[in-house]
Amino acid sequence: MEAIKKEMQQLTEQLLYHARRYYNDDAPEISDFEYDAMQRRLRELEVQYPQFARPDSPTQRVIGAVLTGFEEVHHPYPMESLQDVFSFDEIREFDRRMKERFPETEYTVELKIDGLSVCLEYENGRFVLGATRGDGKVGENVTENLRTVFDIPLEVETGHERLWVRGEVYMPVKVFERLNAQREAAGEQLFANPRNAAAGSLRQLDSSICAQRKLAIFCFNVQNAREMGFKTHDESLQYLKKLGCKVVEPYIVTSSVDEIINFIHTAGERRDTYPCGIDGIVIKVNDLAAREALGSTAKVPRWAVAYKYPPEEKPARLRDIVIQVGRTGVLTPNAVFDPVRLAGTTVSRATLHNLDFIRQRDIRVGDTVLVRKAGEIIPEVLGVDHIQRPDDAEPFEMPKTCPVCGAPVVREEGGAAFRCTGAECPAQILRAITHFASRDAMDIEGLGPALVQLLTEEKLVASPADLYSLHASDVASLERMGEKSAQNLISAIEKSKENPLSRLLFAFGIRQVGQKAAQALARQFGSLDALAAATEEELTQIPDIGGITAENLFRWLHSEQGQHLVSRLREAGVNMTEPDQRESEKLNGFTFVITGTLSRFTRQEMSELIARHGGKVSGSVSKKTSYVLAGEDAGSKLKKAQELGIPVIGEDGLLHMIGE
């Protein structure tokens, strides 16, 4: 029994160590496969020998629970917000008011974390409840998600029956940047800033999603500090550190306003060195008895203020406008200007969004532009000082070809975006491969955005076609991969070769060729060769294929990069035909046009029914039309059929033709 207990202790310590390396340090030392194997072994032992299971065991980190909603939690101690101040004069006024009541007042001065405020409840040292701030009185129960935050100790040696800790959950800047890169590659909407990302993650009903986001926390208050016998806020922070909670550091304790202002300056200059975003400095009365005496207004405590860093705005000379090609092929103009110091960092670039943005502000190379950091995070150009414009400054024009791959650039009809049309553009490779492997496309199980990024970073793939040249040994050597998971991936890639043409068409990621369009095209033409031989006009005759879709498809199939990708996939053995799912040949040789509202079928269902019996469906009436299938409120197509003497039938007539 002693050997079992020792093994469980060792497994727990090893897992806790590796979890910290993975979640906190972002520097894993073992693969996911190895970690999972250790965790499975520990879980098995804990089931057999529960008396030896530790409360802080990694198996107690609930990762995978799915909730239907969040319960309300009534906070026993109000989670108040703070009064914002924006000038040093306001800080001096705050100090004057405090020292009128308490002449020896000293303050704790802390970083203001830009995150999501939560309260943690411990019962006899065990973490039992975690809740969001909500309106300060009532929040949401997010315990399951907070258990996935490895900075939160699940058990502490407090010696008190109850402990309530307030903290700020945040997403580390590096994690935020990586998450947005993955979301962009997957074609998903980007998070605006780390705070929004943290808030969205903490409110996921599936805690496994929250766990993947690698959230962290800084604790900054003991809510029941007075009941626990503390006299100062500083004492309670030191106590939290001893319990194993991460507190907001650096912080100072001082009674000098000059020292407070100096701390604000110093922290502002170092903002880019902190792992999280900070948007200000919090100044709190340190003495807890004084806090009680000062009390609170209806909204905020009288004993604290939050100094908010003002958005800095500085002029800079615009040296160039360069084009960045995003992972979805959109060309984005970026300003390159003389370096300026903003919000603690030196910046020399900012997005100009699109051509409309540039023209509305008449921005030209050589101009003096006004720059600031939006939300203290993202540099942006506010406007232009036209008085200082050089005589030779010329209006900016977007390029006609992609600066990365040389493919033609097109502007979306009715939109602001200019887009590269290259099928193998290196700038789009993450998005292209992630989409190619997605469930509705080639359905390559296990090949998600994170692994695609690893494969591209290691230069193992630079095109969807490269997936079919991968070997298990290449994949097994990657971080967080093992031999078994590598072999599973190779098997999934091999299996994808058998997919029908409709999936391959969708996997290409051609603009406006979605699943339905891909299925309609594949059914109509049967093979990629037949589809490539069709004219734009012939493509528009297919239901659900409009002029723009036909143009995009035709351009892609006849582009140099598109043909190269198809050739490589063909060589790899990827299927390029659609299985013949016809039930009969009863409609073979007949072309139908569907118009009006059908009573028993949708147009798509009727089109599929006709195709299954060998017929074709066209989008317009001509002399080649065999029948017009008309429903209620049929319009111009019915009229044209009557003019041309083309037979008109209803749904029953079609069903009679196929014998149903």
CATH number at residue 641: 3.40.50.10190
Ranking 250-254, 505-509, 601-605, 651-655 by mean pLDDT, the lowest is: 601-605
CB 115 within 8 A of CB 276: yes
CB 116 within 8 A of CB 132: yes
Judge if 138 and 228 occupy the same domain.
yes
The residue from 5, 6, 99, 112 that is catalytic is 112
Q: What is the mean pLDDT of residues 271-290?
A: 90
Which pair of structure tokens corresponds to residue 267? 């922290």
Local structure of 152: helix, strand or coil: coil
CA distances from 312 to 315, 338, 369, 375, 595 (A): 10, 16, 14, 10, 61
Identify the pLDDT of residue 24.
55
> Which residue type is seen at 449?
P
The angle subtended at Cα 125 by Cα 121 and Cα 126, nearest 5°, is 65
Q: How many domains does the chain divide into?
A: 3
Judge if 285 and 144 occupy the same domain.
yes
Burial of 215 (0-12, 13-18, 19+ CB in 10 A): buried
What's the Rg (C-alpha) of the chain?
32
Domain membership flag for residue 84: yes
CATH number at residue 25: 1.10.287.610
Identify the pLDDT of residue 64.
44
Judge if 131 and 223 occupy the same domain.
yes
Judge if 44 and 161 occupy the same domain.
no
pLDDT at 298 over 80: no
pLDDT at 66 over 50: no
Judge if 50 and 76 occupy the same domain.
no
pLDDT at 65 over 60: no
Identify the pLDDT of residue 603.
79
Judge if 644 and 619 occupy the same domain.
yes
Domain membership flag for residue 334: no
Local structure of 454: helix, strand or coil: helix
pLDDT at 183 over 90: no
Q: List the domain range (segments joined by +) for residue 183.
A: 72-308
Give just the sign of the alpha carbon dihedral 541, 542, 544, 547.
Answer: negative
pLDDT digits (tens, 9 = 90+) for 519-557: 889 888 889 999 999 998 888 878 668 888 888 899 999
Domain membership flag for residue 547: no
Which pair of structure tokens corresponds to residue 339? 């370096």
Domain membership flag for residue 95: yes
pLDDT at 261 over 70: yes
- Residue 593: what are its φ and ψ, rounded to 5°? -120, 125
pLDDT digits (tens, 9 = 90+) for 422-467: 888 888 888 889 999 998 899 998 898 888 888 988 889 989 999 9
What percent of the chain is modeled with pLDDT above 70?
A: 94
Domain end (from 11, 33, 60): 60
Judge if 116 and 226 occupy the same domain.
yes
pLDDT at 333 over 70: yes
Identify the pLDDT of residue 344.
54
Domain membership flag for residue 499: no
pLDDT digits (tens, 9 = 90+) for 550-605: 888 999 999 999 999 999 999 999 999 988 777 788 888 888 999 888 888 887 78
Judge if 32 and 97 occupy the same domain.
no
Judge if 170 and 236 occupy the same domain.
yes
CB 31 within 8 A of CB 20: no
Domain end (from 308, 341, 368): 308
Is residue 112 annotated as a catalytic residue, yes or no?
Answer: yes
pLDDT at 67 over 90: no
Q: What is the mean pLDDT of residues 61-65?
A: 51
Judge if 291 and 150 occupy the same domain.
yes
> Which residue type is seen at 172?
P
Q: What is the mean pLDDT of residues 632-649?
A: 89
CA distances from 253 to 92, 166, 221, 267, 632 (A): 16, 20, 15, 15, 80
Domain membership flag for residue 226: yes
| Local confidence band at 2 (pLDDT 50, 70, 90 cut-offs) | confident
Domain membership flag for residue 326: no
Query: Which of 305, 343, 308 is CA-nearest to residue 92?
Result: 305
Strand-pairing partners, residue 378, are 374
CATH number at residue 92: 3.30.470.30
Identify the pLDDT of residue 647.
92
Judge if 147 and 247 occupy the same domain.
yes
Domain end (from 245, 275, 308): 308
Domain membership flag for residue 400: no
Distance CA 204, CA 518 (A): 33
pLDDT digits (tens, 9 = 90+) for 25-54: 556 677 655 776 787 788 888 888 888 888
Query: Which of 586, 594, 590, 635 is CA-nearest to residue 612?
Result: 586
CB 523 within 8 A of CB 547: no
The angle subtended at Cα 465 by Cα 463 and Cα 470, nearest 5°, is 95
Distance CA 593, CA 630 (A): 8
Judge if 137 and 212 occupy the same domain.
yes
Higher per-residue confidence, 419 vs 341: 419
Identify the pLDDT of residue 109.
97
